[in-house]
Amino acid sequence: MEKKAYSCGNAGETLEWIGAIIDFIKPYSFFWDSHVVHFLTHRLWEAVDNEWLDTLRNEPLDYLIQIPSGFVQDRWPSSLKKFITTSTALSFPREQADFNKIFPNTQTILLNNVITQGMSQKKRHEIEALAAVIGSVAKDVDTNTVIDLGAGQGYLSQVLSFEYHLSVIAIDASDHHGRITHARAQRIKKHYDARMHKSSLGGREVMTPKTVTCSVLSPDMLNTLLNFKDIDECCLPSKPLLLTGLHACGDLSVTMLRTFLANEEVKAIVSVGCCYNLLSEESGMDNDALCGFPVSKGVKSSGLHLGRSSRDLACQSADRWRSMEKDASLHNFELHAFRAAFQVVLSRYFPETLTIIPTIGRQGKALRRRQQSSSMHGYFSTVNCCRAETGLTTGGVLCKSNSTGGKAEHDDRCLLFEKFSQCGMHRLNLNQMHGIDFAGIWKEAEPFAELIGPYWSLRATLGPVLETLILLDRLLFLQEQGDSVEVKMLPIFNPSVSPRNVALIAKKV
């Protein structure tokens, strides 16, 4: 099929794209239905084409981390090249769109240092772009009222209020976030009051967003809230309404779409989703009508079930992997190898933990951050010392032993694996560490550790395809409503800065 530049013009084209993705991914369920933590316990490499692994196990690290972005070499097997290039062709384009051309009346306001206090560079980039799109769509549907769902600390709400002069209600499930939003808005208002006083608009009122604490679990709950006349002791602003959410997690993004269709007062929606791993998925239960995936009739009729592992894979970012420095990439693969070996520890010594799907968090990344911000000699400072002593700063993934440093390299990694495991056991409240043969388990794991990088890269290649499927399901859901809804899908952020960069933009005609 010929993929469209960004969005599909009608439901038929979207359904064709979806069908092509489903046909492509089905033979590779051994990738997307698995998890790298089970690499050793389930011997996951055995499901992969031996020729692929034999080719990639000797390739430089730089090549491996570019595979999810479509990188291939002519000398690679044709079946491997086809897998990678097809994945890329079926994935939604992520390069930031020039939405000033798509929305001719867009006015992008560069944010000042007062309103961006506390924002990361990533958040500032996201809000500058998203606020401009919202401002443009609000003009198109002739509304001055925005409902910001999952508002967090109110960054987007405040920019829409103070800079775009829109009337905003910021809704979040956290009462703590609501208090922060209100207090922050009051501080910022003083700056804008002073600026307004100095201008020729001295009598104009500076609007601040209204904050509401509410956990929106269904469209009915949100509809009740939108129709309630007394919110936070302030009347709901004039209708019609525009609904928005920046990285609304899990089912909340889908709830927004259903609310947009169900509530006649909501004339437009601008939604950027996130956290696909938290989506509920159709399982034959009575509440499937409100599940997070699939939502369209077209995908439901396919009978496809993704599962948690594949939805988690859809959250990964090929653009960030591609921009990783070599050291960070090596850290990444080392952590995957240690985590897979730690799963062997759990299966042998603490099998009861496997029934609850143990999560040990991002302990390696947390330790790295602490090491970078202080002089502590922790896990990653040890890693760096090992690299300096054994020449591990260059070469492939989990570099193979050489004649001068093989045993030292093994001993160093064995020690690091033991420290990693002890951290994981502490997180799981498993304090009985005596008698665990960490060295023996690492000795078993090490011969297969060099396959972690190739396996991870191949599996990660399906991440953008799976995210595309989830996004197209939402697009099709709106397109299935017929001519009453005008909808497009656009990547509005720089993907290297903000990987979840696709906005679903819809208006009622």
User: For residue 402, what are the β-bridge partners?
Assistant: none
Is residue 6 situated within a structural domain? Answer: no
% of the chain exceeding 70 in pLDDT:
83
Total domains present in the chain: 2
**Rounded distance, CA 228 to CA 211, Å?**
14
Q: Which long-range contacts (CB under 8 A, 24 or more apart) does 17-23 make?
A: 17/90, 17/468, 17/472, 18/298, 18/299, 18/302, 18/469, 18/472, 18/473, 18/476, 19/302, 20/90, 21/90, 21/465, 21/468, 21/469, 21/472, 22/302, 22/304, 22/469
452 and 332 in a common domain: yes
Q: Do 85 and 72 form a contact (C-beta atoms < 8 A)?
A: yes
Lowest mean pLDDT among 144-148, 171-175, 274-278: 171-175
Mean pLDDT of 73-98: 96
Considering only CA atoms, which of 480, 486, 469 is closest in space to residue 18? 469
**Rounded distance, CA 8 to CA 476, Å?**
9
| H or E segment to which residue 310 belongs | helix 308-313
For residue 475, give the amino acid letter: L
442 and 342 in a common domain: yes
Which pLDDT value is given to residue 370?
46
Lowest mean pLDDT among 101-115, 228-242, 288-302, 374-388: 374-388
Dihedral of alpha carbons 493, 496, 500, 504, sign: positive
Is residue 426 situated within a structural domain? Answer: yes
Q: Do 204 and 244 form a contact (C-beta atoms < 8 A)?
A: no
Which pLDDT value is given to residue 217?
67
**Structural tokens at position 437:** 């043969």
**Rounded distance, CA 193 to CA 189, Å?**
6
450 and 350 in a common domain: yes
Mean pLDDT of 49-72: 94
**Rounded distance, CA 413 to CA 207, Å?**
58
**Rounded distance, CA 295 to CA 232, Å?**
33
Considering only CA atoms, which of 42, 47, 3 is closest in space to residue 28? 47
Mean pLDDT of 144-163: 93
Mean pLDDT of 16-31: 96
Is residue 29 situated within a structural domain? Answer: no
Higher model confidence: residue 483 or residue 282? 483
Is residue 204 situated within a structural domain? Answer: yes
Mean pLDDT of 93-110: 86
Q: Do 278 and 306 form a contact (C-beta atoms < 8 A)?
A: no
DSSP code per residue over 338-371: HHHHHHHHHHHH-GGGGGG-----SHHHHHHHHH
Backbone torsion region of residue 103, taken as left when φ is above 0, otherwise alpha when ψ lies between -120 and 50, otherwise beta: beta
163 and 66 in a common domain: no
- Looking at residue 224, which CATH number applies to its domain? 3.40.50.150
Residue 382 above 50 pLDDT? Answer: no
**Rounded distance, CA 253 to CA 256, Å?**
5
Q: What are phi and psi of 323, to 5 degrees?
A: -95, 5
Q: What are phi and psi of 293, to 5 degrees?
A: -155, 135
Rounded to 5°, the CA angle 95-154-175 comes to 130
| H or E segment to which residue 488 belongs | strand 485-491
Is residue 446 situated within a structural domain? Answer: yes
DSSP code per residue over 417-478: HHHHHHHHHHHTT----TT--HHHHHHHHHHHHTTHHHHHHHHHTTHHHHHHHHHHHHHHHH
425 and 340 in a common domain: yes
Last residue of some domain: 416, 436, 460? 460
367 and 455 in a common domain: yes
Residue 380 above 80 pLDDT? Answer: no
Is residue 21 situated within a structural domain? Answer: no
Residue 389 above 50 pLDDT? Answer: no
CA 220 distance to own-chain centroid: 27
Last residue of some domain: 235, 250, 271? 235
| Helical spans, DSSP H, in 103-244 | 121-140, 155-162, 175-198, 219-226
Cβ atoms within 10 Å, residue 374: 9
Cβ atoms within 10 Å, residue 300: 16
Considering only CA atoms, which of 335, 316, 282, 298 is closest in space to residue 449? 335
**Rounded distance, CA 153 to CA 136, Å?**
23
Is residue 14 situated within a structural domain? Answer: no
Residues spanned by the domain of 435:
36-71+323-460
% of the chain exceeding 90 in pLDDT:
59
For residue 130, give the amino acid letter: L
Mean pLDDT of 42-47: 96
343 and 426 in a common domain: yes
Mean pLDDT of 423-437: 87
Last residue of some domain: 438, 460, 482? 460
Is residue 313 situated within a structural domain? Answer: no
502-508 sheet: strands from edge to edge: 210-213, 167-172, 145-149, 241-249, 266-274, 502-508, 485-491
What is the pTM for the complete model shown? Answer: 0.87
3-class DSSP state for residue 62? helix
**Rounded distance, CA 276 to CA 294, Å?**
12
CA distance between the termini of the chain: 29
Mean pLDDT of the chain: 84
**Rounded distance, CA 175 to CA 314, Å?**
30
Q: What length does the chain have?
A: 509
